[in-house]
Amino acid sequence: MEQKKKRSTRQQRRSGLIINVLTLIVLVLVVFEGKSLISLFSRENIQERIRQEEDEVFASANLLSSESEETEAPQTGSDAESEKASEAQTEEPETEAVILGRENGIPDGGDAYMDIVVPEQAVALDDSYFEDAVFIGDSRMDGFRNFSGITKGSFVTAVGMELENFYTDAQIATAQGNALVMDALKNINFSKIYMMLGTNELGAYDMDAVKESYRKVLSDIKTRSASADPVVYVYSVIYVEEPLVTTGDYVNNANVDTINLKIMEMCKEEGYHYINVNEVLSDGSHSLISGAASDGIHLNQEYCRKWLDYTKTHYVPTV
């Protein structure tokens, strides 16, 4: 006689249902997540999973930061040098305008001759440097001799001296009477020449002719030197204070700049040293400092002393 199968109890059916559901969940998770149920519900594995995801997030952030730094990092090599050179070329004209502009008395166009402009030296000369020097020039140089306080050096100066009358007028007072400049120089032992002419040439129509006359005069003066190769310093023609000038409208600062540019050209061609005394006597606008000369031309004592101080700090060190 066959035994009847026992009917499953409600509790057994419920347990079986739960097992089936759990089995289904496990299968779904295995298929779609690739992980076992045990791994899913393990606290340690969950924490490890979180840490891994955090590391991935931070690693991604660091990667983005590194890429940003590489993008913004300064260029090196030829590209960077090229870029810097381009920037320097862009800024140079503005800097040059400041250095060579109205602030220091260099005429427009004078930047091409800056290598013959005597630079300032750290140590000032004393008057002994001028023992073998001769100072030649017109009434402005004569005022320098009388009011600067200089104690050494020889002076060959005359009111109204100019390049045109240099060889024709006996204008230099000597013990034997008035003499031509070249004759007066015969009795002086010099190896340095300080020259300032040009104020009386401001009305000239041909500044190139003035330049050539200046070249000849200096060449002839050098033949009177005790040295076979005397040092030649040529002062810039000093600016004027135009409202005070009564000698003629041609005595103006535009003409001063024109003649100074020609003098710079001549110094460049001959290897002479240009002393830009206007650097200390200019008001910064191509004009003489107001009050430096009662008549707008001839410097008073204070500014003659400034002229001397400037000369003592502007010289060729190897001489």
Q: Which domains does the chain have, with CATH numbers?
A: 10-66 (no CATH), 104-313 (3.40.50.1110)
Q: What is the mean pLDDT of residues 183-198?
A: 96
Q: Looking at the predicted structure, is the pLDDT value of residue 258 above 50?
A: yes
**Does the structure show a pLDDT above 50 at 26?**
yes
Question: Rounded mean pLDDT of 182-186?
Answer: 95
pLDDT above 50 (res 134):
yes
Q: What angle do CA 103, 250, 244 make, to 5 degrees?
A: 65
Residue 215 scores a pLDDT above 70: yes
Residues forming beta bridges with residue 174, ordered by sequence position: 177
- Give the model confidence (pLDDT) of 78-109 as tens digits: 455 555 444 544 444 443 333 444 468 999 99
pLDDT at 28: 53
pLDDT in tens, 31-81: 455 444 344 444 445 455 545 655 554 454 454 444 444 444 445 554 555
Q: Which residue has the higher pLDDT, 33 or 18?
A: 18
* pTM for the predicted model, two decimal places: 0.69
Query: pLDDT band at residue 147, thresholds of 50, 70 and 90?
Result: very high
Q: What percent of the chain has pLDDT over 90?
A: 65
